[in-house]
């Protein structure tokens, strides 16, 4: 690990200002992704701003009847919150399907959204990777691609976003609240938060340098059955090959988002409209234009079948 200096932030605006003041500064929350990558020198911050002291660890009801989840709420606490379990079961389920009990106790809402890809070549510093080292090439294309993306890819990068929680947030139409170094605040709809790789796979979100996430808000509950189905190589403690997060109403309408298939949680609003017509119709819309490799083409039928299982469970 490269050496760095360390400070504890005193307020959100001060943290954002500190991040702009110091070249090479990064926020650290749970540390479960950042420290992992710092040990491998994939991330090399020269200064860490510890945001854990900021009072951003509360879950509050909003005036619109939704929830405002502090950026530092731990994944365990979010999954266990009574309101989340009752009204946003999809979010609880997605969180509980991710990582391990130990990791969820540390992982935060903001850190989870910003966790980086698990592409094996991103992790192997001997390999070219446009995301790790812009312009160096992509070792995954033509390499081992089984876990990688099938849609929204580019010639520069075919990595996936690994978060389970983000899939639920996408289906729930969450908004990411932030503060910038000049003190201004904004809300970024989750649909506009994660970017596709394009020519700049190293730029993963629409956050600007120094921008601090303060909270994630959810609109008021929409009811329906909340189901998160994750398919992976072992029964627990593994990343998704494919995951389906869905909210299904009694009349068969609803919404759906996918994990494990793209550089961001994958949702196509036009596919939601197909839900009463069944899994095949929805999957076709969701995955129109997919460009899988020979090794990961299995993800396309896997999405359709997982979706089929989810819709059957919703009826049952």
Ligand X SMILES: Cc1cc2nc3c(=O)[nH]c(=O)nc-3n(C[C@H](O)[C@H](O)[C@H](O)COP(=O)(O)OP(=O)(O)OC[C@H]3O[C@@H](n4cnc5c(N)ncnc54)[C@H](O)[C@@H]3O)c2cc1C
Task: Report residue 198 as tokens.
Answer: 């394009």
Quick one: which of 235, 259, 243, 247 has its CA closest to 311?
247
Contact 306, 288 (CB under 8 A): no
* CB of residue 251 to ligand X, shortest distance in Å: 31
Q: How large is the greatest C-alpha to C-alpha distance in the chain, in angstroms? A: 57
In this complex, which beta carbon is closest to ligand SF4, that of residue 20 or of residue 40?
Answer: 40
DSSP strand pairing (47-50 vs 25-28): parallel
Residues in the chain: 316
Rounded CA-CA distance 93/98 in Å is 9
In this complex, which beta carbon is closest to ligand X, that of residue 110 or of residue 279?
Answer: 110
The only residue of 20, 26, 85, 298 in contact with another protein, by rule CB under 8 A: 85
* CA 31 from centroid of its chain's CA atoms: 16
DSSP state of 19: H
The residue to which tokens 């950042």 are assigned: 34
Q: Examine residue 141 and tell whether it contacts another protein (CB under 8 A).
A: no
Task: Report residue 206 as tokens.
Answer: 């629409």
The one of ligand X, another protein, ligand SF4, none whose footprint includes residue 122, by CB under 5 to 8 A per kind, is ligand SF4
The only residue of 17, 18, 25, 32 in contact with ligand X, by rule CB under 6 A: 32
Residue list 111-150, contact with ligand SF4 (CB under 6 A): 117, 119, 121-122, 129-131, 138-140, 148
In this complex, which beta carbon is closest to ligand X, that of residue 89 or of residue 311?
Answer: 89
Residue 16 host element (H or E)? helix 12-21
Rounded CA-CA distance 218/229 in Å is 21
The one of ligand SF4, ligand X, another protein, none whose footprint includes residue 201, by CB under 5 to 8 A per kind, is ligand SF4
**Chain positions contacting ligand X, by CB under 6 A:** 26-34, 36, 51, 71, 98-99, 103, 106-108, 110-112, 114-115, 162-165, 212-213, 239
**Chain positions contacting another protein, by CB under 8 A:** 1, 3-6, 28, 30-32, 35-36, 39, 48, 50, 52, 76, 79-80, 85-86, 89, 92-93, 96-97, 99-103, 105-106, 235-237
**Chain positions contacting ligand SF4, by CB under 6 A:** 117, 119, 121-122, 129-131, 138-140, 148, 157-159, 201
């Amino acid at each position: 690990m490269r050496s760095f200096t360390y400070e504890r932030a005193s307020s959100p605006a001060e943290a954002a200002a500190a991040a702009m003041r110091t070249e090479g500064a990064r926020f650290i929350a749970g540390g479960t992704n950042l420290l992992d990558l710092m040990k491998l020198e994939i991330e090399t911050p020269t200064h860490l701003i510890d945001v854990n002291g900021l009072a951003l660890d509360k879950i509050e009801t909003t005036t619109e009847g939704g929830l405002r989840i502090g950026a530092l709420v731990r994944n365990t606490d979010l999954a266990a919150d009574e309101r989340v379990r009752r009204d946003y079961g999809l979010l609880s389920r997605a969180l509980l399907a991710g990582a391990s009990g130990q990791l969820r106790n540390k992982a935060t809402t903001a850190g989870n959204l910003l966790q980086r890809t698990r592409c094996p070549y991103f992790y192997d510093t001997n390999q070219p990777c446009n995301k790790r080292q812009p312009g160096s090439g992509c070792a995954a294309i033509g390499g081992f691609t089984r876990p990688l993306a099938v849609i929204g890819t580019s010639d520069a990068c075919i990595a996936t976003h690994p978060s389970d929680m983000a899939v639920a947030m996408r289906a729930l139409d969450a908004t990411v609240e932030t503060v910038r170094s000049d003190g201004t605040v904004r809300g970024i709809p989750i649909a506009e938060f994660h970017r596709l790789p394009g020519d700049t796979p190293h730029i993963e979100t629409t956050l600007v340098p120094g921008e601090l996430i303060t909270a994630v808000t959810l609109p008021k509950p929409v009811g329906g059955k909340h189901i998160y189905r994750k398919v992976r190589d072992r029964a627990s403690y593994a990343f998704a090959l494919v995951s389906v997060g869905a909210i299904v109403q009694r009349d068969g309408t609803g919404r759906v988002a996918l994990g494990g298939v793209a550089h961001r949680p994958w949702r196509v609003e036009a596919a939601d409209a197909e839900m009463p017509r069944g899994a095949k119709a929805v999957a076709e819309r969701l995955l129109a234009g997919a460009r899988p490799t020979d090794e990961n083409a299995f993800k396309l039928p896997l999405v359709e079948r997982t979706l089929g299982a989810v819709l059957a469970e919703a009826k049952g």
